[in-house]
């Protein structure tokens, strides 16, 4: 192990021990029992297994509505979905185009055992912020609904809702709806087809 990597690993272990020690001290928890609870909480479950079924390479055809009632802007892309940390998270690496320009995005989706919610983070090459949403499986293993918000021009909050539908093992359809204060309207739709 390289010296820098070894120091980083040691610092991470010490920071983890410090945080757990603070939790024990503040909550009066017994360390062995608390570690068992943390270990149990960190185990991937059926919700994680359902998400991991989406790992793979996908072609994406999408449409974006810049404002309600406008004609959609079509684009194509490729998404690679990868299982991380023994199936705890699903990472998306997206490459495509938007209005003739290269477009790249990174997403991370997981299921938080503590809150019993799905969590999703997204950022891309035309943004400087993170879009963070939380959701539920409205039809376990088939339909997931996420909601949250992001900041638009002038810092105005835009409410976001997305629905991901699994149409079978080789197709996902994602619809996103935006509300800038005048009611919700569809702003994006993507059809993911598993590459053969």
Each residue's pLDDT expressed in tens, for the chain with a length of 196 residues: 444 444 444 445 444 544 455 444 455 555 557 888 999 999 999 999 999 999 999 999 999 998 888 899 999 999 999 999 999 999 999 999 887 889 999 999 999 999 999 999 999 998 888 999 999 999 888 999 999 988 888 888 889 999 999 999 999 999 999 998 888 999 999 999 999 7
Distance CA 79, CA 172 (A): 12
Note the pLDDT of residue 28.
Answer: 53
* CB neighbour list of residue 48: distance below 8 Å, 6 or more residues apart: 87, 88, 110, 111
CB count within 10 Å of CB 52 equals: 18
Note the pLDDT of residue 7.
Answer: 45
Note the pLDDT of residue 34.
Answer: 86
Confirm if 62 and 24 have CB atoms less than 8 A apart: no
The verdict on domain 47-194 having CATH code 1.20.1250.20 is no
Distances (CA, A) of 95 to 6, 56, 60, 136, 180: 34, 14, 9, 27, 27
CB count within 10 Å of CB 81 equals: 22
Looking only at the bridges linking them, the beta strands covering 56-64 and 101-112 are: unpaired
Note the pLDDT of residue 54.
Answer: 94
Write down the pTM of the prediction. Answer: 0.79
Note the pLDDT of residue 8.
Answer: 45
- Sketch the domain layout of the chain as residue ranges: 3-41, 47-194
Would residue 153 be called left, alpha or beta, if left means φ above 0 and alpha means ψ between -120 and 50 degrees? Answer: beta
Note the pLDDT of residue 11.
Answer: 47
Helical ranges in the chain per DSSP H: 3-27, 31-41, 46-52
């Amino acid at each position: 192990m390289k010296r820098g990597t070894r120091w980083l690993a040691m610092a991470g272990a010490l920071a983890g021990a410090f945080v757990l020690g603070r939790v024990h001290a503040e909550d009066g928890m017994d360390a062995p029992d608390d570690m068992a609870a943390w270990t149990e909480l960190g185990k991937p479950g059926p919700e994680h297994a359902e998400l991991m079924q989406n790992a793979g390479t996908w072609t994406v055809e999408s449409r974006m509505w810049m404002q309600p009632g406008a004609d959609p802007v079509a684009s194509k892309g490729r998404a690679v979905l990868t299982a991380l940390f023994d199936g705890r998270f699903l990472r998306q690496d997206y490459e495509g185009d938007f209005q003739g320009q290269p477009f790249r995005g990174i997403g991370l989706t997981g299921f938080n055992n503590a809150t019993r919610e799905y969590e999703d983070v997204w950022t891309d090459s035309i943004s400087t912020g993170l879009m963070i949403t939380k959701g539920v499986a409205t039809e376990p293993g088939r339909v997931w609904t996420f909601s949250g918000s992001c900041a638009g021009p002038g810092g105005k909050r835009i409410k976001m809702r997305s629905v991901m539908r699994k149409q079978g093992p080789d197709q996902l359809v994602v619809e996103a709806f935006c509300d800038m204060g005048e009611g919700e309207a569809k702003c994006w739709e993507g059809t993911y087809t598993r590459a053969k």
